[in-house]
């Protein structure tokens, strides 16, 4: 569990901010939980939420790009579980590069909450269920909102 250094909700109050949450529908149970946790966290921070669903992880970057034009922060959520072919590697690499490019090009923080897991149980353990060890939907939202506040505090 890697949460050292993660900002806490009480450090990130963002009334007046808008966060776009784009969530894949593939691996629905996991993605729905990630989405619910991200939305709840954004609302607890005082941010307005715009919600968008897309079929799979590969569609996340293009929608994140559109959201980044009008939102203070974006959160991308999905779940890719390794199968028996190299497709997993291509999808994970494409999504990561795409979301990074969106953040840099738009100068808008993009919280990457796309789980890349070897098996279903790893996804469950990271999705923020009551018995999960981690809460990646909330963590991606906290990171994006914290970074948005940091960017807004910089001159120019």
What pLDDT is stored for residue 4 in this prediction? 66
Catalytic residues: 87
Q: For residue 125, what are the domain limits? A: 66-151
The answer as to whether 8 is a domain residue is no
| Angle, in degrees to the nearest 10, between helices 87-106 and 60-68 | 10
What pLDDT is stored for residue 2 in this prediction? 57
The two three-digit tokens of residue 148, written as one number: 């948005």
The answer as to whether 36 is a domain residue is no
Place of tokens 């969530």: 23
The answer as to whether 41 is a domain residue is no
- The model's pTM is 0.95
What pLDDT is stored for residue 6 in this prediction? 75
Q: Calculate the average pLDDT of the chain.
A: 95
The tally of domains found in the chain comes to: 1
Establish whether 80 is an annotated binding residue.
yes
What pLDDT is stored for residue 56 in this prediction? 97
Q: Residue 79: which CATH number?
A: 3.40.50.960
Give pLDDT tens digits for 34-65.
999 999 999 999 999 999 999 999 999 999 99
- Residue 85's pLDDT band, with cuts at 50, 70 and 90, is confident
Sequence-separated (6 or more) residues with CB below 8 Å from residue 133: 1, 125, 126
The answer as to whether 129 is a domain residue is yes
Q: Are 64 and 31 in contact (CB under 8 A)?
A: no
Q: Does the pLDDT value for residue 150 go beyond 90? A: yes
The answer as to whether 39 is a domain residue is no
Place of tokens 């992880």: 57
* Residue 58 CB burial class (10 angstroms; 0-12, 13-18, ≥19): middle
Establish whether 152 is an annotated binding residue.
no
The answer as to whether 94 is a domain residue is yes
Establish whether 137 is an annotated binding residue.
no
The answer as to whether 38 is a domain residue is no
Q: DSSP H helical segments within the chain, as ranges?
A: 28-44, 60-68, 87-106, 120-126, 136-153
- Residue 1's pLDDT band, with cuts at 50, 70 and 90, is very low
Establish whether 117 is an annotated binding residue.
no
User: What is the distance in angstroms between the CA of the first residue and the CA of the last residue of the chain?
Assistant: 36
The answer as to whether 109 is a domain residue is yes
């Amino acid at each position: 569990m890697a949460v050292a250094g993660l900002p806490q909700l009480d450090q990130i109050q963002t009334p007046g901010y808008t966060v776009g949450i784009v969530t894949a529908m593939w691996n629905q149970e996991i993605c729905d939980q990630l989405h619910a946790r991200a939305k709840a966290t954004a609302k607890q921070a005082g941010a307005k939420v715009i919600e968008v669903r897309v079929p799979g992880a590969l569609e996340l970057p293009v929608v994140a790009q559109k959201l980044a034009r009008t939102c203070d922060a974006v959160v991308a959520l999905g779940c890719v579980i390794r199968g028996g072919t190299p497709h997993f590697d291509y999808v994970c690499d494409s999504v990561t590069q795409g979301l990074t490019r969106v953040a840099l090009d738009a100068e808008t923080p993009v919280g990457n909450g796309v789980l890349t897991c070897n098996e279903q149980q790893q996804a469950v353990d990271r999705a923020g269920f009551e018995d999960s060890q981690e809460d990646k939907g909330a963590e991606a939202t906290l990171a994006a909102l914290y970074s948005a506040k940091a960017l807004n505090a910089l001159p120019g």
